[in-house]
Amino acid sequence: MSVTRKLYDGDSFLAEFSATVLACQETENGFAVELDQTCFFPEAGGQASDRGVLGKATVSDVQIQNGTIFHLTDRPLTVGETVLGKLDFARRFDFMQNHSGEHIVSGAVHRLYGLDNVGFHLSEDNVTLDFNGLLTREQLLTAEREANRAVTENAAFRTWYPEARELASLDYRSKKELDGDIRLVEIAGYDLCACCAPHVKTAGQIGLIKLLDTVKLRGGVRIVLKCGWRALADYNCKYDNCRDIGNLLSVKQEETAQAVRRLQEQLTEEKQKNAAQKRRLIETMIALGDPEQRMVLENGLDGKELQLFADGLFRRKGGICGVFTAVPNGFGFALCGEEQPLNAFFNEFRQHFSVRGGGRNGLIQGTVSASEESLKSYFHFL
């Protein structure tokens, strides 16, 4: 099997190239095209592949097998022809900004706290990096400042394949044991790591490096990262949201969180007052209702209120009591009664209607697909 010459190894900013088509095979998803050389980076190391065009064919995916790179295209190419390839370079540069930023962050975390990057994923929408230990908020902010210091200093990137003797003398990061030729990416003064992907030439090309969400994962931590244009877009989105919230609440942007907390406290207080009033209303409705009525249709009740209403009916009137409230495509309900007769009643109820729900200890709740008239007819004896 032939080996494709990797033009991106020599120049990560190369966006156009000419190549000879060596093979083209139809697959379920398109045509797998093999070239003698390419600047399309294949999916590898947690990073999605480049995209672009080969002649008039669209390249939607790129994979590598045993050194041969296959380009998935939407139309066939003729073996032996020379074809012009063009990258979607905006996408490539976005990937380089975020992958290069990840190297700086991972190097900082390793240098400052001794943790290793054990996982990495880079796609159009998301960048995550996993570390084999926990980090505090303060530690993350320190690592973020260190990473952005590399940007302000415009630290230089270098990529090369060291000879075995040189490689043995170097202390470099790697997520796994590697064999064969190993490509190193050095960020002067900040990091040295094995990596096969394209990178920027200087840290200043990355722009802002911002650490966002963090979650605990398998004894360590997963960090969501955004760099460069992604970080700017994320900031603009959050700025717009914060501005709109501030305008709605008539507060300054820096006061929005405090204002939302106050509003949440007020809402909780109002909910508690409303719940107490509904409980009193339910008790009044039960007291003033028909002494013989054990089935009630009352709209606007939530699950807890259905339960309270049915339980109040049962305590006052005994037997089997049911309360229903309208929901999309039917009714929500709560049934109360002595456990054994209630279960027998519910089994029969399910045979007459399409019912979802269940319960125990004398209370059954759920939903039923039925009309008001059919329910009243069925429950006329309650």
For the chain, what is the radius of gyration of the CA atoms?
32
pLDDT of residue 1: 57
Return the structure tokens found at 369: 């697909």
pLDDT of residue 292: 77
- Write down the residue that tokens 């399309």 correspond to: 40
Task: Convert the pLDDT of each residue in 9-28 to its tens digit.
Answer: 999 999 999 999 999 999 99
Q: Domains of the chain: which residue ranges? A: 5-87, 93-239, 251-287, 289-378
Strand partners, 32: 25, 72
Instruction: Using the predicted structure, report yes or no on whether residue 110 has a pLDDT greater than 60.
Output: yes
The angle that helices 303-317 and 256-288 make with each other, rounded to 10 degrees, is: 20
pLDDT of residue 74: 96
Average pLDDT of the residues of the chain:
93
CATH 2.40.30.130 fits 5-87, yes or no: yes
The Cα–Cα gap between 71 and 310 comes to 66
Instruction: Using the predicted structure, report yes or no on whether residue 233 has a pLDDT greater than 70.
Output: yes
Return the structure tokens found at 30: 């398109």
Which of these ranges, 163-172, 287-296, 317-326, has the smallest mean pLDDT? 287-296
First to last CA, the chain: 81
How many residues appear in the chain? 382
pLDDT of residue 272: 92
CATH of 289-378, picked from 3.40.50.2300, 3.10.310.40, 3.20.20.80, 3.40.50.300, is 3.10.310.40
- Write down the residue that tokens 């190097």 correspond to: 107
DSSP characters over 129-194: EEESS---HHHHHHHHHHHHHHHHTTPBEEEE---HHHHHH---B-SS---SS--EEEETTTEEEE
pLDDT of residue 244: 94
Instruction: Using the predicted structure, report yes or no on whether residue 382 has a pLDDT greater than 60.
Output: no
Interval 227-242 mean pLDDT: 96
Burial, 334: exposed, middle or buried (Cβ in 10 Å; 0-12, 13-18, 19+)? buried
Instruction: Using the predicted structure, report yes or no on whether residue 2 has a pLDDT greater than 90.
Output: no
Q: Higher confidence at residue 367 or residue 46?
A: 367
pLDDT of residue 378: 86
Q: What pTM, to 2 d.p., does this model score?
A: 0.78
Indicate the pLDDT class of residue 381, thresholds 50, 70 and 90: low
The Cα–Cα gap between 372 and 282 comes to 21
Indicate the pLDDT class of residue 269, thresholds 50, 70 and 90: very high
343-374 as b/e: b if 16+ CB within 10 A? bebbeebeeeeebebebeebbbbbbbebeeee
Which of the 8 DSSP states describes residue 255?
Answer: G
Determine the Cα angle at 59 with ends 55 and 64, to 5°.
115
Interval 167-175 mean pLDDT: 90
Return the structure tokens found at 299: 């709209």
Interval 141-170 mean pLDDT: 95
Task: List the alpha helices (DSSP H) in the chain.
Answer: 7-10, 89-113, 137-152, 164-169, 228-249, 256-288, 303-317, 339-352, 372-378
Determine the Cα angle at 319 with ends 315 and 323, to 5°.
70
Task: Convert the pLDDT of each residue in 346-378 to its tens digit.
Answer: 999 999 999 999 998 999 999 999 998 898 888
Interval 336-353 mean pLDDT: 92
pLDDT of residue 193: 95
Specify the fold of 93-239: Threonyl-tRNA Synthetase; Chain A, domain 2 (3.30.980)
Interval 327-341 mean pLDDT: 93
Instruction: Using the predicted structure, report yes or no on whether residue 278 has a pLDDT greater than 60.
Output: yes
Nearest alpha-carbon partner for 333 in 325, 342, 344: 325
Domain 5-87 identical in fold to domain 93-239:
no
